[in-house]
Amino acid sequence: MSMQGFIRSDGRKGIRNQVVVAYLVECAHHVAREIAWPNRDQAHVIGFPGCFPNEYAQKMMERLCTHPNVGAVLLVSLGCESFNRMQLEKIVRDSGRPVETLVIQKTGGTLSAIKRGQAFVMQAIADLADTPRVPLDLSDLIVGTVCGGSDGTSGISGNPATGRAFDRLVAAGATCIFEETGELIGCEDIMSSRAATPELSVELRASVEKAARYYAALGFGSFASGNADGGLSTIEEKSMGAYAKSGASPISGLIKPGDIPTKGGLYLMDVVPDGPVQFGFPNISDNAEIVEMMASGAHMTIFVTGRGSVVGSAISPVIKVAANPEMYDRLHEDMDINAGRIISGDADIDAVGNEIVAMVESVAAGQPTKSEQLGHQEFILTYKTFEPIGPACLPA
Amino acid sequence: MPAIDPRLIVLNTEDTVAVARCAIAAGEVLQIGTETITLGQAVTMGHKLARAPMQAGDKVLKYGVPIGSATQAIAVGEHVHLHNIKSDYTPTYALTDTGEIA
């Protein structure tokens, strides 16, 4: 299948050409939703609900609004929130994308803001039809992976099959990101041994130790009740299953949300905040992790689920891999790949890994995933604090 | 390699647990290594059964690595879960169907 991408001014190529409608505080969320609704296939709502400033959220929104899958941006502000809308608008404008900021308190209220916003979206969609397209190669792609609603099958079928797909994608020059250091607790020894350099090895181990400290302070692991129903007993058991998504390639670097890898390879994303515990759980739900990988440039996310998550995402397509054959039978309308066949003995890890790679190629070429077809565009962004990564995290 | 019932999967030869590939009813007879056991309790897909006897404090091995420690003696063929193992990192929080904390 020949893949074509939408070329952006920074040289990155998008696999979708969305108009983002971004609310800059929860108070502007309804207006943003109403603006996007008539064109919701192409106009996706993202936003930050908080009224108070947060550097991390600012950076996330800047990265997301200049994501290669995004062609135009409408910012929706109430007017009195702390978010730096001027800076965000400037960054989007400097990227060459059409952008407009609507301040509800200045436009005359809800109805007039919706009317003006819908006019912007209509015009942007018409303009984006002319976006130049260029040949796209696997080496142009950044692919993330998460697992959610994990059970005792995830770590045996869907996760190792995704790991096999990651090995093939990395070999083809793609950039692959795995994450959730809180769900790698117990894997620090084997994972750090795969680092490209000894210094990176130290950083990988430190990131998991930080996660273990953070969750110990919270009193709970990154472990939901459904994980136990599905047969998982401890965080380290869940971790080993989750770790299988990383495959067997050497680990090229450690990034934090919003850091964009500049060359292909396998990267771990550290999603646990730095500093003292504040603002609560690091990953309040699966979409928070998908958003962070998008902020690091992920064109799409491979989502392995055992219990049966149905989510998609704004901006970047989500490929859902069912780990559990019984769940696949129940929820097949939401699932793109049936890795449960590995459990039932009808396919092996290699075969499903190949299917996932083929799916990545067809989704990059424009084929909608199940969650895209169903209109799933979940998005969540909350408060966090990060220090910049150290020099050992991205070896030359 | 000792025999294992086809309804179970052993992920690593070192493992002290095996994983159910499907739901298995109470009373089913299973071959686990040299032992033939009668399952005391129904298990659903993805749950674990002991493949080796364990004492309280023993590491539980799956994928060839520790996934926690036994909190009581566990016999071959017993369901291995929240009631008899615990994390060596953070405690596991799980709700039962009646809203109790397991």
Backbone angles phi, psi at A163, to 5 degrees: -60, -40
Question: What ipTM score was computed for the predicted complex, to two decimals?
Answer: 0.89
> B67 vs A234: CB contact, 8 Å cut-off?
yes
Residue among A69, A70, A50, A84 nearest A121 (CA)? A70
Q: B65 to chain A: which residues are within 8 Å by CB?
A: 186-187, 190, 236, 240
Q: What is the model's pLDDT at position A281?
A: 85
Q: What is the model's pLDDT at position A1?
A: 58
Q: How confident is the model at residue B102 (pLDDT cuts 50, 70, 90)?
A: low
Contact status of B10 with chain A (Cβ, < 8 Å): no
Q: Where are the domains of chain B?
A: 8-86
Which stretches of chain A sit within 8 Å of chain B by CB? 151-153, 155-156, 185-187, 190, 212, 215-216, 219-221, 223, 225, 227-237, 240-241, 306, 324, 326, 343-345
Q: A316 with A69: CB under 8 angstroms? A: yes
Which of B9, B11, B21 to mutate to probe the A interface, most A CBs <10 Å? B21
∠ CA A279-A285-A287, rounded to 5°? 110
Q: What is the model's pLDDT at position A136?
A: 97
Q: Which of B20, B47, B92 lies at the smallest CB-CB distance from A234?
A: B92
Which of B78, B87, B100 to mutate to probe the A interface, most A CBs <10 Å? B87
At position A312, the amino acid (one-letter code) is G
Q: How confident is the model at residue B21 (pLDDT cuts 50, 70, 90)?
A: very high
Query: How many CA atoms are closer than 13 Å to the CA of A387, on its beta-carbon side?
Result: 9
* R_g of chain B computed on alpha carbons: 13
Q: How far apart (Å, rounded) are the C-alpha atoms in residues A32 and A21?
A: 6
Query: How many CA atoms are closer than 13 Å to the CA of A381, on its beta-carbon side?
Result: 34
Tokens 């050497």 sit at which residue?
Answer: A250
Q: What average pLDDT is seen over chain A?
A: 95
Q: Which of A152, A221, A241 lies at the smallest CB-CB distance from B89?
A: A221
> A186 vs B89: CB contact, 8 Å cut-off?
yes
Please give the structure tokens belonging to residue A381.
């962004």
Statement: residue A41 has pLDDT above 90: yes
Q: B80 to chain A: which residues are within 8 Å by CB?
A: 233
Q: What is the model's pLDDT at position B2?
A: 59
Q: A334 with A308: CB under 8 angstroms? A: yes
Residue B95: closest C-alpha in chain A = A225
Q: Which of A151, A216, A236 lies at the smallest CB-CB distance from B68?
A: A236
Q: How confident is the model at residue A83 (pLDDT cuts 50, 70, 90)?
A: very high
Q: B100 to chain A: which residues are within 8 Å by CB?
A: none
Query: In terms of residues, how long is chain B?
Result: 102
A176-234 tens-digit pLDDT: 999 989 889 989 999 999 999 999 999 999 999 999 999 888 887 788 888 888 899 99
Residue among A172, A64, A144, A176 nearest A321 (CA)? A144
Statement: residue A164 has pLDDT above 90: yes
> Smallest CA–CA separation between B75 and chain A, in Å?
17
What's the burial of B18, exposed, middle or buried (CB within 10 Å: 0-12/13-18/19+)? buried
> Smallest CA–CA separation between A329 and chain B, in Å?
14
CATH number of the domain at B8-86, please?
2.30.130.110
Statement: residue A259 has pLDDT above 60: yes
Backbone angles phi, psi at B47, to 5 degrees: -85, 165
Q: What is the model's pLDDT at position A387?
A: 97
**Mean pLDDT computed over A298-309:** 96
Q: B44 to chain A: which residues are within 8 Å by CB?
A: 231
> B46 vs A240: CB contact, 8 Å cut-off?
no
User: Could you give the residue ranges of the DSSP H alpha helices within A230-318?
Assistant: 235-243, 286-295
Q: B45 to chain A: which residues are within 8 Å by CB?
A: 151-153, 231, 324, 326, 343
- Look up residue A388 and give its DSSP letter: P
Q: What average pLDDT is seen over chain B?
A: 91
Statement: residue B1 has pLDDT above 60: no
